[in-house]
Amino acid sequence: VTPSEGAAGCGRWSEMLESLLALGGLVLLRDSVEWEGRSFLKALIRKAALSGEQVRILGCEVSEEEFREGFDSDVNSRLVYHDLFRDPLNWSKTGEAPPGGPLGALRAMCKRTDPGPVTIAIDSLSWLLLRQPCTTVCQVLHALSHRTPCPGHSPAVEQVRVLGLLHEELHGPGPVGALSSLAQTKVTLGGTAGLDSAHIVFRRPRQRPIHQTQWFSVLPDFSLDLQEGPRLECQPHPDPYTSPVDPTTHLTFNLRLSKKEKEARDGLTLPFQFSSEKQQALLCPGQGQAASHIFYEPDAYDDLDQEDPDDDLDV
C-alpha cells in the first residue's frame, strides 16, 4: 500500500467511524466464535474518546486491566469504567457494586452528567441476556438510546449512544431479532479468506436501510486499517433477519410472461366468456345450420323407473 493509498484508507475509515458515531441510538455489534468483536468495539471507543466525548464502559466479561490494555494514556484518561467482572453481585460486601445489579448500573447512566454527548459501551449484551430477561434489557436499552429519562432519575443527557457487543451464537432468534429491531445501526462482523469484514446496516426513520460492507484489520493501538476485499456480489448476505427472500427462486415454472406471451393472453377468448359473437350465433343461426338434436337409446341395464330415477345409486 502506498502512502497516498494508506492515507485515503485511513480517511475512509475515519468517515465510516464518524458515520457510526454520528447519531445517538443503539449500535449493535454482532460477532461470532470465528470473528470476535471486542477489538472493533474498542476501536469505536477510541474514536469516541479522541473526539472529546464522555465514554462510559460497563465491563462484564473481562477485567478492567484487560479491557484497558492497548489504549494509550490519553484514551484511558477519558474512560469511566464500571466494573461488573470482579464482583457483579457484591458478594465481598465492599460497596463497589452498583445498587440494583447490572441493570441498576445501566439505569444510573441515564443521569445527567456534563453537557454533551455520551457514549456507553456494554461488554457484553450477551452477559446481560444470560442473567436478565430479554424484555427488561430491551426496555433499559430503549430508555438509554432514545434519551428518555429513567424512573427516579434526572432528565437524560443531550445525546446517548449505546455500543452493545452481542455474541450471536449464544442466543436464539428471538433475542437476536428483538435487539436487531431495536438498534438504529447494526454491524455484523465476519470475513473470508483471512480478511475481517463489517457489514453495516443504517436504519433511519422513514428511510430505507443503507447497507455497507467494509474490509479491515485492527492495529495494535485499536485504530483500523482499510483492506481491499473481494467483490461485493461474491459475498453472502450475513444478516438473515434483514435479507430479502425471493419466493420465485427455486420454482420449476416461470411466473413472469414475456411481451408476446402477454399479448397472446390478452387476445385469448376463454370458453366461459359469453362474447357478442357467440350470442349472435346462438340467437340467429345462419342458413345451412341445422338445429342440434340429442338422440338417446337406452341400454338393457338402464333403470328407467320414473318414480325413482336414482334407484341405481343405492341412496
> So what's the pLDDT on residue 303?
63
> So what's the pLDDT on residue 6?
41
- Please identify every stretch of the chain with a pLDDT value under 50, giving residue numbers as ranges: 1-10, 149, 151, 153-157, 232-237
Domains of the chain listed by start with CATH number: 9-149+156-226 (3.40.50.300)
| CA gyration radius, the chain | 34
> So what's the pLDDT on residue 103?
82
Place of cell 457484591: 90
Q: Are 88 and 97 in contact (CB under 8 A)?
A: yes
User: Cell for 129?
Assistant: 441476556
pTM: predicted TM-score of the whole model, two decimal places: 0.65
> So what's the pLDDT on residue 92?
66
Q: What does the DSSP 8-state code read for residue 212?
A: E
> So what's the pLDDT on residue 189?
93
> So what's the pLDDT on residue 111?
65
- Determine how many CB atoms are found less than 10 A away from the CB of residue 9: 17
Q: How far is Cα 266 from Cα 268, in angstroms, rounded to an integer?
A: 6
CA dihedral 72, 74, 80, 85 (to 10 degrees): 10
Q: Are 160 and 118 in contact (CB under 8 A)?
A: yes
Spatial CA neighbour of 118 closest among 78, 150, 70? 78
> So what's the pLDDT on residue 94?
62
